[in-house]
Chain A
Amino acid sequence: MTFLIVSQIINGVVTGMLYALMGVGLTLILGVLNIPNFAHGVLYAFGAYFMLAVTQLIGGFWLGVLIAPFGVVALGMLIEYFGVRQLYAAHHDYQLLFLFAVALILQEAIILIWGPVGTSILPPEHLAGAVNLGVTIYPKYRLAVMVITAAIVIALWLFLTRTNVGAIVRAGIENRGMVEVLGIDVQKVFLLTFGIGAWLAGIAGSLATPIMGLTPSMGFDILPITFVVVVIAGLGSVVGAILAGILIGLAQSLTTIWFPEAAQVVIYLLMGLTIILRPQGLFGKR
């Protein structure tokens, strides 16, 4: 039993870190552009399918992890530039609905290009198999994902706190008017933020391929979970999104041990609980 619990805890942290990457991206876009990106899930799915394309066409797992997210960045920026940007003057409901429509189109595009049947990608050979942790044996690849996502989170943190561009993005979350006053081209900030969010979704999607496999609906499956992460975390909180992501990952994987049918539902119960006890989210200011 202990070994099961321990491996489920590690599992929870690994999936939780992937949720966290998604949640951070969504929260950045939400904070800066004031839109819940309904296409965020489908960007994640494209991260996975671009990964598939790279490994099939060129070969090389890490090459895929490197290239695929930038394909997603390009996709995200196109969506921002040709769609969302046209709608800034309209009510945010319309931006949201536009992104929903884009999500529908892109998910169908995945089915048209790669077919409706799911597939998977094997982890790279040097990370195949498991490692003995004493209490349990655990797949090497998942541990690697944990390390990589942690590194990404730290790098993102450094970017946001130590660079000028990062400071502008943060200012955008706090107060969009301020960015305008500073004489910064807001549109560029929006494009950049969308790009960063897309990259995070892309890397999460490509890293997830050996763990969760690829299905055309993978984006729609992860989207509501990402929303839950942001609701639990509270508006604009990057740290909150990371912790909320891990919290949800853990809750999900621990529920799987005792009541696997409820593993998905428990996420939303946590969200409901948060709204009752702390409507602004665990780390939200208002």
Chain B
Amino acid sequence: MRRDRYSFLLLAVLAIVAPLVLRPVIAAEILIFAIVAVANNIILGYTGLLSFGQATFFGVGAYISGLMIVHWDAPLWLILPTAVAANVLLAGVIGYLCVQRIGLYFIMLTFAFNQMFYFIAYSWTTLTGGEDGLPGVQRPEWLRDDLAFYTFVAVLALICLALMKRIVDSPWGRLFQAVRDNPDRAAATGHNVRLIKLTSFVVAGAFTGFAGAVYALLYGIVPVDAIYWLRSGDIVFMTLIGGSGNFFGPVIGAVFFIWLSETVSLFWNRWPMILGIVFALVVLFLRGGIVEVLARIAGVMRRRRDAG
């Protein structure tokens, strides 16, 4: 538990330093996706379920936030809880349907439902702006400045991570892991496996939707890409490349992903190709993600020190 406290302290320090080395909007984007990736890891790393549909919740959160601002000029204290509540409901329904099936079918279902919501957003142009996106999502006065907005996001992100840490340390979190390791035994010890999976799915959906709602404010537009299933792939990528075996791993994944995409798109506009290649390499050779690399380096250094 003490180590976790250090990790949070380190994270807070990095969050303060970040806007000194990065453009504030990029730093904010990283933190938004850090929430999403850590939330996804509650499903993937803790519960052992691969969801290929997290963009559903990200997108719905973003559209709710965007629409409430564009049409009603609603305040944030109303928008953010609404986005969370809506996504709890949505993840409850989608999750209920998806946990009826296990393994590969679960993945295919999350993926297909993602596509369904994408098409709703894509076809309902009068509401969402369709392919062109939903523009005119103005931040409230006090967040107009990018640095102010970044600070706001950083505080929210740290709160979200702390809440999620609390959840994975709670009985729920341990039951997620029990279901991941051995669903039959978990059932035989008195636990409703589907309910536990569903809970995990809803928790992740809620935080993902929240992050989506904040994302809408970032560039003042909700692009239809926010809900496209490739975004779900991005989320899985961040989680995995950071390291799904560790609570904080996906944060590193989000940093790496946003940094890589920003850098690559500066000189080549075929970013998905690079993403695909890196993804394939990670899956083939580095399944523990960056966290594993760091652990290996630390191991080598320790051995050197011990030897020398």
Contacts and interface: CB of A to CB of B under 8 A. Distances in A.
A92 B284 contact: no
Contacts of A108: 270, 272-273, 276
Contacts of B233: 100, 104
A243 interface: no
B109 A109 contact: no
B125 to A, nearest CB: 8
B115 A34 contact: no
A139 interface: no
B279 A92 contact: no
User: Which secondary structure dominates where chain B touches chain A?
Assistant: helix
B284 A98 contact: yes
Contacts of A94: 283, 287
A100 B52 CA distance: 10
A71 interface: no
User: Which secondary structure dominates where chain A touches chain B?
Assistant: helix
Nearest to A26: B108
Interface in A222-256: 224, 227-228, 230-231, 235
Contacts of B116: 264-265, 267-269, 272
A261 B284 CA distance: 41
A96 B104 CA distance: 9
A275 interface: yes
A63 B16 CA distance: 63
B280 interface: yes
A97 interface: yes
Given A101-B280, A105-B277, A276-B97, A30 B124 contact: no
| Most chain B beta-carbon contacts within 10 A, residue among A96, A104, A267 | A104
B25 interface: no
Contacts of A102: 276, 280
B123 interface: yes
B201 interface: no
A230 B280 CA distance: 25
Given A105-B273, A228-B112, A36 B104 contact: yes
A7 to B, nearest CB: 23
A231 B104 CA distance: 10
B107 interface: yes
Interface in A54-103: 83, 86-87, 90, 92-94, 96-98, 100-103
A201 to B, nearest CB: 16
Contacts of A100: 233, 236, 279
Contacts of A34: 104
A101 B123 contact: no
Contacts of B114: 224
A210 to B, nearest CB: 25
A108 B279 CA distance: 14
Contact of B100 (A96, A103, A275): A275
A279 B116 CA distance: 18
B115 A92 contact: no
Contact of B280 (A83, A107, A228, A272): A83
A111 interface: yes
B273 A30 contact: no
A38 to B, nearest CB: 9
A35 B287 CA distance: 18
Given A108-B272, A269-B116, A275-B109, 19 more contacts: A94-B287, A98-B284, A101-B275, A102-B280, A104-B272, A104-B279, A108-B270, A220-B230, A224-B115, A224-B229, A231-B108, A231-B112, A262-B123, A264-B116, A264-B119, A265-B123, A268-B116, A279-B100, A279-B101
20 contacts: A34-B104, A87-B283, A92-B103, A93-B50, A97-B283, A98-B283, A101-B276, A101-B279, A101-B280, A102-B276, A104-B233, A104-B272, A104-B273, A104-B275, A104-B276, A104-B279, A108-B273, A224-B114, A264-B116, A271-B109
The 6 closest A-B CB pairs, nearest first, are A104-B276, A268-B116, A108-B273, A101-B279, A105-B276, A224-B115
